[in-house]
Amino acid sequence: MVSYRKRGEVWQYEISYKDNDGQYKKLRRSGFRLKSDAELAASKVRTDFVDVRQYRNAELSLADFFERWLNLYKAGSVSDITLRKYTNTLEHIRQIFGDIKLKDLNRSLYQDRINHFAQTHAVRTVSTFHKQIRAALLDALDEHVIIFDPTRKTVITGKSVKPRRKALDYEDWQKLIHNLDPTDQDDLIIYVAAVTGMRYAEILGLTPDDLDLSTGLLRINKTWDYKYRTGFKKTKNRASIRTIPLDSKTIGRLNEYILDHEIAQNTPVFLTDGVAPVSAQINKVLTEKLNKLGLPRITFHGLRHTHASVLGSRIFGVDTNNARDSRSIFV
């Protein structure tokens, strides 16, 4: 039901409707110079939106709508890691789009905001940002919260990013491992990754009983959840469960570290008071070490690529993923 009234020098329309709980609510808008202007505006609301509740939703900011969409459709249905990515997108939306409402969002405004985001982010990041927003807005379109898709034909650009080197060559690898302190926890973690190609979570999952000193074999059969601190977890897949031979130097360094820190047989070697160093910390230590030695920057995961490359070229004479994780490299 729509009614009109004059308030001073301007006209107001009032639309009565029921909310989702069945309670009667009123939508009022005023400031129209003529009654016909108020009638036209009220008519547009009733024409563009199936009911007034959708009009109310269209008055939400993009950030608030995305947050509600995220909690409704994604929370509980995607992995924690994926949910974090959506949450990160929400934070960027708040920064880039501010309080812009859904009803005010058009193609030009959306493209302008995406271009602004692209000034400081790589194309891949911009593309992911756009896809996640678009998914929410297409649902809004399906629900008649908006009457057109402002993301249609969006042009994706981004900051030019120099490709990061993925691995060290043999000489750089040698220089790195010979400048790591085996008594320092972070350095020893980096060392183990460099000579075995183990994943970070696998290294954190190592316990003294995984190391067989008599045979020099290391059993990899579990990982440690360093992100959410839930304890031991399964390996990435069944193929990740394996046994690798270690060189004498690596065996000695690990055994000495275990004895010096009096680590119990079933306790993770690299935890301090039950807490594992986060991957960002190890990457920072690695970056600082590489910079100090004048070596190319790689990520911690790049040590795994380095191991595969060095092991293949030095032992098998080829650079192949089949060599990855087959053994530690004699140093």
Q: Which long-range contacts (CB under 8 A, 24 or more apart) does 125-129 make?
A: 125/158, 126/156, 126/157, 126/158, 127/156, 127/158, 128/85, 128/89, 129/89, 129/92
Q: Is residue 55 part of a domain?
A: no
Task: Identify the pLDDT of residue 321.
Answer: 39
d(CA 43, CA 179): 75
Which structural domain range is residue 136 located in? 62-142
Residues 14 and 96 placed together within one structural domain of the fold = no
Q: Are 154 and 110 in contact (CB under 8 A)?
A: yes
Which amino acid type is present at position 110? Y
Domain count, the chain: 3
What is the domain-level CATH number for residue 97?
Answer: 1.10.150.130
Residues 226 and 108 placed together within one structural domain of the fold = no
d(CA 264, CA 260): 11
d(CA 128, CA 47): 34
Q: Is residue 151 part of a domain?
A: no
Residues 43 and 67 placed together within one structural domain of the fold = no
Neighbours of 285 (CB within 10 A): 19
Residues 249 and 293 placed together within one structural domain of the fold = yes
Q: Are 113 and 126 in contact (CB under 8 A)?
A: no
Residues 269 and 208 placed together within one structural domain of the fold = yes
CA dihedral 275, 279, 283, 286 (to 10 degrees): 40
d(CA 220, CA 238): 11
Residues 16 and 76 placed together within one structural domain of the fold = no
| Residue with token string 């990041």 | 125
Residues 273 and 201 placed together within one structural domain of the fold = yes
Residues 197 and 90 placed together within one structural domain of the fold = no
Domain boundary among 127, 142, 157: 142
d(CA 202, CA 236): 9
Residues 203 and 252 placed together within one structural domain of the fold = yes
| Distances, alpha carbon 105 to alpha carbons 112, 131, 143, 179, 278, in Å | 11, 16, 16, 56, 40
Task: Identify the pLDDT of residue 2.
Answer: 80
Residues 213 and 312 placed together within one structural domain of the fold = yes
Q: Is residue 100 part of a domain?
A: yes
d(CA 57, CA 88): 23
SS3 (DSSP) at 94: helix
**Mind listing the pLDDT tens digit of every residue in the chain (331 residues)?**
688 888 888 988 787 766 656 677 777 788 888 888 888 877 766 554 444 455 557 788 999 999 999 999 998 888 888 899 999 999 999 999 999 999 899 999 999 999 999 999 999 999 999 999 999 999 999 888 888 999 999 999 999 877 778 899 999 999 999 999 999 999 999 999 999 999 999 999 999 999 998 899 999 999 999 888 889 999 989 999 999 999 999 999 999 999 999 999 999 999 988 888 888 899 999 999 999 999 999 999 999 999 998 886 655 444 333 334 445 555 5
Residues 205 and 286 placed together within one structural domain of the fold = yes
Residues 249 and 130 placed together within one structural domain of the fold = no
